[in-house]
A and B are shown apart, each in its own frame.
Chain A
Amino acid sequence: MANIKYILAFNIILLLSSCSDFLNLEPETSLSSAVAFDNIEGIEAGINGAYSIIHSDWVERQYIFAECLMSSVKQVNALSNSNYTQALTHENWSDLFNISGYFWQMSYRTIDVSNQIIQAIPNINADNDKTAADKARLEGEAYFLRGLMYFGLNRFFAQPQNGLSVPILTTPYQPDQFPFRASIEETKAQVIADLEQAESLMQNIESNDGRATIWSVRGMLARAYFEFKDYQKAQEYANLVIESGRFALKDGQVGSAYSTDISSENIFTFLSAANDRAANNLYERFSINNANVQLSLSADFWNQINQEPTDLRIDELHTDLGGGVACHKYDVRNMNIPFLRLPEMYLIRAESKAENNDLDGGLVDLNRLRQRVGLSATDYVNQSDLLEKIFHNRTVEMSMEGQNFHNLKRLEQPIGGYPWEEARFKLVFFIPLKEIQLNPNLIQNEIW
């Protein structure tokens, strides 16, 4: 009985003495934000995390929204995302439906982690050459990712009517921050500044393994300058990439980019693993391997691209099934997604040359691409004829890759059945309603 007394007393003492630790629990499977970017491994994990955010859905959203908005697709089975139906039918997708929300979220999530890394990097102790090199690369990637995000946001949210694009943050977000929307020009400048900063930091980064390299950065600079209509710079960067010798066109093998490998044509690739399936959503929308394939090419778009049936891209990457035209680019569920491809660089260089009145130079690049897809060399009548031919080649090349919509915007062409003057104001995302409610400084885009 005396023992019991001691046991009771011991019980109580044991507990009272350990009470301060008892409540200090930390989750086992997550990392406190206070220490997340304390070391170089943490920074690298943050960069990988950023790729993981954008490598599937972010790509898929911007591809599908762009194709829906330009009416290059039609629905063949129920779309598993009703937002796409709204984009496709150009139904009033007013602020109620928050269509743009997820794309916005993923973009700013990536921007925030980039900003945290850019802020944390100077505090990392570089005690050896390797760490110093890693630091430069990771900082460069952070700038690259941020530039990539602002480029994507600007494409969809910039409203020429009020000249506004998206809020620009270059330091980690603070809860009392209510940023204004930057102007379109400021946003474009930010994209270029970030990518050029990345370029300067990543000079020797060459390994093409699903993370950004110096060539991914330069390729993106070519794409950005081209879309911002600085054809001089666009040509310069496209040229750098083409002449680098790192990449090679694969004549006769137009499908090589859409596989589980990294084709020699790929400049920047989002990787996928068997159980990861970056392209899964694209597969579910487009692939006829999926019993409930959701999208096919619209008749108009098919008529537009189907002009030279021997073009391997028409012959091998598309099939007219009668009820619809299938696109075969996403038939492999766990394929890598080729985000920047060498043919685009040729197209940029060709068109930039043509814009810069080097018509013969432009023709050489165009014919190089025609050779790649099994077509004979062509010629031009005048500049606009050459531009028209390059435009056609680009439209075929980029089919279902989410780029043609923005190309039409660059060229101020009618889009999705609307004349340019209407399309430029209408085919723009709304700022997510939630952001408008939380930040009085944000001005909503006009309702269509």
Chain B
Amino acid sequence: MKRNLLSLYLLIATIVFPLDHMSATIHLNYVPAKTRFSKFTDKDFTISGLITNEDGEAIFGAAIVIKGDEGKGTFSELDGSYTLKLPNAEQTLIIRYLGYQSLEIEVNGRSQIDIVLYSDLQTLDEVIVVGFGTQKKRFTTGAISKVNGEDLQNATQTTVEGALQGRVAGVQVTTSDAMAGSPVTIRIRGTSSIVASSEPLYVVDGVPVVSGNFSKNNASSWRLATAHESNALSQLNPADIESIEILKDASAAAIYGSRGANGVVLITTKGGRKGKTRFNVGYQSGFSKETNRIEMLNGSQWLELAKEAWTNSYNDAITDNDPSNDATYDISNDYQKFWNEILPEGLSREVAEMTNTDWIDETLQDGFFQEMNLSTSGGNEKTLFYIGGTYRDEKGIFVGNNFKRYNARVNLDHHPTEYLSIGARTAFTVTDSDIIPISWAGGLGTAQSQALPFWPIFNEDGTYFNAQSGNNVAAELANTEMNQKGTSILGNVYAQLKFLKNFTLRSEFGINNIYKKEFYYRSAVIEPEAISTSVLSESQNWNMNNTLSYSNSFGRHSIDIVGGMNATKNDYFQNVINGETFPNPALKNPENAAIQTASVNTTQFSFLSFLGRLNYRFDDKYLLGVSVRRDGSSRFGSGNRWGTFPAVSLGWIISEENFLKDAKVLSFLKLRASYGETGNAEIGNFEYFGAFVTNNYVDRPGIVVQEIDNNSLSWESTKQYDVGVDIGLWGGRVEAGVDVYLKQTDDLLTQVDVSSLSGVERVTSNIGSLENKGFDLSITTHNTRGKLKWVSNINLAYNTNQITDLGGLDFIPGQLFGLGAIGLGQPVGARYTVPWAGIASSDISLIVSDPDDPSLQNEIQVKGGDELFINQFGELTNIYNPNDQVFIGNPTPLWSGGFTNSFSYKNFDLSVLITFATGHDLSNDERRFQYAPFGFGWTMMANGMERWQNQGDLTDMHRVTWAAPNRNYTSSRVITDADFARLKDLTIGYSFPKSLLQKWKLHDFRIYAKGTNLATLTSYNGWDPEYNRDGAGNVGQSKSWLPSPQARSISFGINIGL
């Protein structure tokens, strides 16, 4: 690991520095542009010259003072010129200007010195938003990453979190699919839970918001399910964002206590700035397509392989001397039995043989999107405002998928007096999306599984072929409606009072309400009777923060204290009405149905917290941070309701020490160390509560047990150690930060089986531990400046995840689809399966140990083309034995990160983002059926044509048979490497020159073209290596089921400011 890091650093250094180092040297040993030697030795010595910036523009108001006698000096004039009288010619001048690096120049007897000031590259004085306050970056002691809003502007992604991809070290972002408004999974420093959510807490302007899946479709039929979750965060508009801070280590996140274990994402929206009222108009529009398309068998290939499989099974029956099988795979009568088996009603052999339907083609289309942004901002001494609105209209790459969003935001700050400020952050969002079934629910999922290529789309009479089978994708898409309409309000009002000079009292009250109306319909063409579902849901969330802070300095001591409380409550309500059988196809609302069922679902949670933080600083060099939060949650029984989450952190700004103060190269060096405890309570709301729920016997009120008393339930607690270094070189031309961490999570929230004798099957329990350890690194270099500016950033994270305790067990078997097995010493989500060893190239016999009695050896016959496995004794075998299962594969990347290069030359700008992830695998679970499709009525990927046929064939594709002996099982054959590097984002822009802007009376005018996911380097042979199984939790995430591609898009945009 160390070696890898070192070599990576060297690589970057090699790329970046040769050119750069020279200019840096030149810059540091400053040589004035024009030098004229003078031999004056008079007492009064006058010096003059011009001060310009790196673009050659005059700087007005720069201060020029004499070192050691700083009371004496002057300012540059409007044209950049200056004149200053010196006592003699051997002085040193200091030139300072806000936003630029200060410069010291020895006069050395020169009477004219022209000076070029370079803009200050150090970000150390940036303000960083931390929970319940702000800090200067220079003095932070936690691991906090900041992304500026500009980096997210004009993102083609619909969601804010999606746009974070590749921009922050240690933050892994995965979009689950290309459906507009899809959920995004974020893992900050790895997965830290088995059952509870591992998503970070999102806090927008101080309000913790509802995130994750919002649509909970309790429809009566699984056919109405979408296999698709909706993303509550898609309510946020990227254009409104000022900055995003990501709290990664426990010292930063512990102020969020029991909600902070997965890290915290603080989103700050834009406010107004003093001065002239500005207007901004932006428009972008683009096209999208799938990133990749996989090839399935065509009609004749499917029939060819199916017949071959049938014949092989027939021959097997003869060799195995099994007359009943021989009769099953009857090949007499021109395979009449075969055709009977495969032809659905209404399809003749002749039509089947002529048909070749590309079902995938029926589900994908060219996407299109457009987005219009309008905003205005400004203000005066008393009032600042920002008003923004966005309209986005997107047609997705899946047939039938549309997404519309309307955002409006008003942010206001008012200062009636010097001591008081009041303000509001309010946003209103309306979304309207047509979604479509994917994965197991249909659409593209069916197109790669049970829609067979020799089926026609239509019967001869123009009606849909086999419409009610659920497998005619075209019929399904044309006869299904799935619409979700959402309205959300996110707002926060605050009042802040400064008193007694050093105290600030702040009170905030915020709400985040989401209302959602869903409608699902399947017509009588594809169902025996039309069915529909109408869902209305509402999530009301309010939040209150009250803090008192104190800030003061006494000589070399500085102190900041904040104490306060936070209360949050969420009420969720959902109403589902199902209807079936309608009098007329034009009536679809459940209201009109002959049979109606309704259900209501309500739930709530609340958190109450008290928090305090002390930051102490001595001599601007030695930093100490201490925080503690005491949290109570309604999610746990009264005995385990409260927890305390402390954190402590230390920092030492070494570069401020005398021995480094004058270092030429090293401009900043800070060492940080922290320890803290955080919690995770992201489970269901009443899991501790032994409860009966209604379950009526016909019309008679009845109750059944739902959960048994579970009073010992409490949160997961995560202890995190972090050591970090922040380095600045050459006045910020290189800034780097690296953190090494160990994150230990105990009392894991896990579903534990309990005996059915208890009346229930499972309870949530605190069992076991896991750990994440690794490092994250970010380096930003300003490679060149002047006319050509080139800035690079690389961020890189390494993380390993391991379950270190399972409450004394070394294995917990999985439930759903066998997704869930977890094992001691394994990463969360590793696949538990039998190791696959390829395809036998010819008939052989093998000796294997008897699983029941290993002292016995059996001889087994392997046919050419059989699948081979490794058994528990390490022997090669063609027998699939579930007892041979082992954990295989790593579900989450070891290495991930992003590499950004931004260039600007004159009025052109170019930025390129490459993201990458390596060291992980995807388990392509659907392939266990795709590899042996014939008995199941599935189709197969086109590489099925490379099947084994003759003795000696070397191939990865087995000999096809009708009833593949091991067909029902997953082996490690389905696990594939999913490493990738991807050209995530490429933007080329042109800003019109100032001279033209002045003529046009504009402030800004930029046009740009942008490409997303333009190229991908990967050995993965499925749709897209970037995959995240929707709704499958931490354990199932990288286990795919009929996945879909991501979108590749090209867009053009324009931004005008006046």
Binding site for B on A (CB under 8 A): 1, 4-5, 7-8, 11-12, 15-16, 19, 22-34, 36, 42, 45-53, 55, 78, 96, 101, 104-105, 108-109, 111-113, 167, 169, 173, 175, 177, 179, 210, 271-276, 290-291, 432, 434-435, 437-439
Contact = CB atoms under 8 A, between A and B. Distances in A.
B416 interface: yes
Nearest to A13: B546
Given A30-B693, A51-B697, A7 B634 contact: no
Nearest to B578: A275
Please classify the interface of chain B as helix (H, G, I), strand (E, B), loop, or mixed, using the class held by over half of its residues. strand
Contacts of B703: 31, 36, 42, 45-46, 48-49
A285 to B, nearest CB: 15
Nearest to A32: B691
Contact of B608 (A11, A23, A177): A23
A215 B603 CA distance: 43
Interface in B587-621: 595-597, 600-608
B693 A169 contact: no
Given A15-B546, A53-B695, A175 B754 contact: yes
Contacts of B697: 48-49, 51-52, 55, 210, 271
Given A112-B759, A173-B755, A31 B691 contact: yes
A36 B759 CA distance: 15
B336 to A, nearest CB: 15
A173 B497 CA distance: 59
B507 A34 contact: no
Q: Among B601, B697, B760, B882, which residue has the most Cβ atoms of chain A within 10 A?
A: B697
A116 to B, nearest CB: 8
A270 to B, nearest CB: 9
Interface string B704-725: 1110110000000000000000
Interface stretch (B477-485, B682-690, B795-803, B887-895): B682-690
Interface in B15-43: none
A175 B595 CA distance: 42
Contacts of B596: 275
Contacts of B837: none
Contact of A32 (B417, B607, B641, B690): B690
Given A1-B416, A49-B703, A52-B702, A15 B544 contact: yes
Given A4-B420, A109-B759, A96 B698 contact: no
B507 A33 contact: no
25 contacts: A4-B420, A11-B509, A11-B546, A19-B608, A26-B686, A27-B604, A27-B686, A30-B686, A32-B692, A33-B690, A36-B703, A48-B702, A48-B703, A49-B702, A49-B704, A50-B704, A53-B704, A105-B761, A109-B705, A167-B757, A173-B759, A275-B595, A276-B698, A434-B756, A439-B755
B756 A49 contact: no
B567 A22 contact: yes
Given A31-B693, A55-B697, A113-B759, A12 B603 contact: no
Nearest to B567: A15
B691 A27 contact: yes
Given A4-B497, A32-B689, A11 B700 contact: no
Contact of A105 (B420, B422, B608, B756): B756
Contacts of B608: 15, 19, 22-23
The size bracket of the interface on B is: 35 or more
Given A48-B697, A52-B697, A274 B595 contact: yes
B459 interface: no
Interface of B: 416-417, 419-420, 422, 468, 495, 497, 505, 507, 509, 528, 544, 546, 565, 567, 569, 595-597, 600-608, 632-634, 638, 641, 685-686, 689-706, 708-709, 753-761, 882, 937
A224 B405 CA distance: 65
A1 B497 CA distance: 9
A52 B694 CA distance: 10
A173 B758 contact: yes
A1 B705 contact: no
Contact of A52 (B497, B565, B695, B760): B695
A156 to B, nearest CB: 14
A45 B507 contact: no
A179 B604 CA distance: 38
A29 B604 contact: no
Given A27-B603, A52-B696, 7 more contacts: A15-B608, A33-B705, A48-B703, A51-B702, A109-B704, A109-B705, A275-B596
Of the listed residues A24, A179, A438, the one surrounded by the most CB atoms of chain B closer than 10 A to its CB is A438
B692 A1 contact: no
A104 B759 CA distance: 10
Given A22-B606, A291-B528, A29 B755 contact: no
A29 B693 contact: yes
Contact of A4 (B422, B569, B633): B422
B525 to A, nearest CB: 13
A7 B605 CA distance: 26
A67 B605 CA distance: 48
A25 B606 contact: yes
Contacts of A435: 755-757
A437 B754 CA distance: 10
Given A27-B689, A30-B686, A36-B692, A273 B417 contact: no
Nearest to B600: A29
Contact of A5 (B497, B600, B605): B497
B701 A25 contact: no
A388 B420 CA distance: 99
Contacts of B607: 23
Contacts of A175: 754, 758
A46 B696 CA distance: 10
A113 B704 contact: yes
Contacts of A12: 507, 546, 565
Contacts of B760: 109
A34 B638 contact: no
A29 B754 contact: no
Contacts of A5: 497, 505
A109 to B, nearest CB: 5
Contact of A33 (B420, B695, B708): B708
Given A29-B601, A275-B596, A16 B565 contact: yes
A34 B690 contact: yes
Contacts of A179: 757
Contacts of A49: 692, 695, 697, 702-704
B634 A25 contact: yes
A274 B507 CA distance: 55
A34 B685 CA distance: 18
B205 to A, nearest CB: 18
Given A109-B704, A173-B758, A173-B759, A30 B692 contact: yes
Given A23-B606, A55-B697, A291-B468, A7 B507 contact: yes
A434 B756 CA distance: 9
A94 to B, nearest CB: 9
A22 B694 CA distance: 26
B742 to A, nearest CB: 32
A78 B937 CA distance: 10
A311 B701 CA distance: 42
Nearest to A432: B756
Contacts of B692: 30-33, 36, 46, 49
Nearest to B546: A12
Contacts of B528: 290-291
A438 B505 CA distance: 56
B657 to A, nearest CB: 43
Nearest to B706: A30
Among A28, A29, A435, chain B packs the most CB atoms within 10 A around the CB of A29
A8 B507 contact: yes
Contacts of A28: 602, 604
A291 B527 CA distance: 10
A432 B756 CA distance: 10
Of listed A48, A109, A167, residue having the most chain B CB within 10 A:
A48
B757 A11 contact: no
